[in-house]
Amino acid sequence: MKSNEPIAPGGVIGILGGGQLGRMLSLAAAPLGLRTAVLCPDPNAPAFDVCAHRIVGDYTDVDALDALAAHCEVVTYEFENVPVSAIDRLSTQVPVRPGRRALAITQERFEEKSFLSAAGIPVAPYACIDAEADVSSALKAVGLPAIIKTRRFGYDGKGQRLVRTADEAFAAFRDLRSAPCIAEGFVKFDRELSIIAARTPDGTCATWDISENIHENHVLRRSRVPVPEAIPQAKHAQTLAQTILQALDYVGVIGIELFDTPDGLLVNELAPRVHNSGHWTADACVTGQFEQHVRAISGWALGETTRHSDAIMTNLLGEEVDAWDSLATTSRTKIHLYGKRDRRPGRKMGHITRLLPPANS
């Protein structure tokens, strides 16, 4: 296809990554008459159960990447740690959405914070730590307490430490194997929020209602909408999202994590993909995030994001998924199981969305 033409039904979307997000993207593509081809190194990847083409291979395997490109009209990715080199290879053969810049920026925490600051987006104080000699100056810049984070590959609380003293900061840097890090000032917030947004190649944007996110052991446990306490912040969150999308020339769905502080909203992190805190949209809105991402990267018009139900999304971790039979009979509850074979403590095995009538109905 030409990059400015919509993909017609019967077309194929390539997905780098075969986890639950790739699985749900594949399921969302099918009702639109679109198919998916998935590249993943894990032969038991959940997305392989529901895609049209399976390619088992590493993301640095040029033969596997070329095979994916040969199947597809467009390629996307389900997680942000895909090597940028894979995007570079694919982009010579097929459009990749979101593009290289969004991936490169969100893979590196200092680059992400610098991008946001340059775009006028409020963030917590931050400073680079390239070596142990930088720890003191970084703490002077951000204050204590602080969060020390590796600049790459951290998620669900991995690769980060809360420190309250300089000695703890030095120990944390060493504990993180002296990898390049970023120090962030500790933010006192009332609640953690997120907003899911989408943008098409022609610049049309759409957002959903903001959700409140509750974490346990650094893993998202549940998201709820609406958030009456944050109604005044909703319009500002939409404006921030649209600013970020336009500054990145972004195409697809993005997850934006926010801190709701007494002084206003701060952006915590960006996820250049569909996001766990947006799972509720698939059941509680006219158009969910997975269908919207497929629409956006395929050059289709965006769907309506109106919410028709209040919702609470809860992740099923580890052996909690074994309660599927009772969950499946719970009133007004939608159950989504990911088909993962290995149950590990804290591993996301599925989620449920409890739907409630809107409070003003």
> What ranges do the domains of the chain cover?
12-96, 125-185, 191-356
**What's the pLDDT score for residue 2?**
47
**H-type alpha helices, 224-358:** 231-248, 281-284, 289-297, 324-327
Distance, CA of 64 to CA of 132 (rounded, Å): 40
Q: How many Å is the maximal CA-CA distance in the chain?
A: 59
CB burial string 87-110: b at 16+ within 10 A, e below: bebbeeebbbbbbebbbbbbbbbb
Please state, in angstroms and as integers, the Cα–Cα distance from residue 270 to each residue in 9, 185, 255, 351, following that order: 31, 18, 6, 22
Pick the CATH number of 125-185 from 2.60.120.10, 3.30.1490.20, 3.40.50.720, 3.40.50.1000: 3.30.1490.20
Q: What is the dihedral of CA 188, 275, 207, 73, to 10 degrees?
A: 150
Q: What is the pLDDT along the chain (361 residues), one digit of tens a residue?
A: 445 789 999 999 999 999 999 999 999 999 999 999 999 999 999 999 999 999 999 999 999 999 999 999 999 999 999 999 999 999 999 999 999 999 999 999 999 999 999 999 999 999 999 999 999 999 999 999 999 999 987 665 578 899 999 999 999 999 999 999 999 999 999 999 999 999 999 999 999 999 999 999 889 999 999 999 999 999 999 999 999 999 999 999 999 999 999 999 999 999 999 999 999 999 999 999 999 999 999 999 999 999 999 999 999 999 999 999 999 999 999 999 999 999 999 999 999 999 998 876 5
Pick the CATH number of 12-96 from 3.30.930.10, 3.40.50.20, 1.10.10.1150, 3.30.1490.20: 3.40.50.20
In this structure, the number of other CB atoms found within 10 A of the CB of residue 8 comes to 13
Kindly report the pTM of this predicted structure: 0.95
Q: Which two tokens stand for residue 163?
A: 């420190």
**What's the pLDDT score for residue 3?**
58
Please state, in angstroms and as integers, the Cα–Cα distance from residue 120 to each residue in 144, 234, 243, following that order: 24, 18, 9
Q: Which two tokens stand for residue 133?
A: 């000699």
Distance, CA of 168 to CA of 135 (rounded, Å): 11
Residue 187 phi, psi (nearest 5): -105, 125
Query: Are the CB atoms for 348 and 315 separated by under 8 Å?
Result: yes
Helices 166-175 and 135-142, axial angle in degrees (round to 10): 120
In this structure, the number of other CB atoms found within 10 A of the CB of residue 137 comes to 12
Please state, in angstroms and as integers, the Cα–Cα distance from residue 176 to each residue in 2, 42, 131, 138, 170, following that order: 45, 27, 12, 16, 10
Please state, in angstroms and as integers, the Cα–Cα distance from residue 165 to each residue in 146, 157, 187, following that order: 9, 20, 16
Please check whether the two domains, 12-96 and 125-185, share a CATH topology.
Answer: no
**What's the pLDDT score for residue 24?**
98
**What's the pLDDT score for residue 129?**
97
Q: What is the DSSP string of 222-238?
A: EEEE--GGGHHHHHHHH
The domain 191-356 having CATH identifier 3.30.470.20: the answer here is yes
Distance, CA of 54 to CA of 76 (rounded, Å): 15
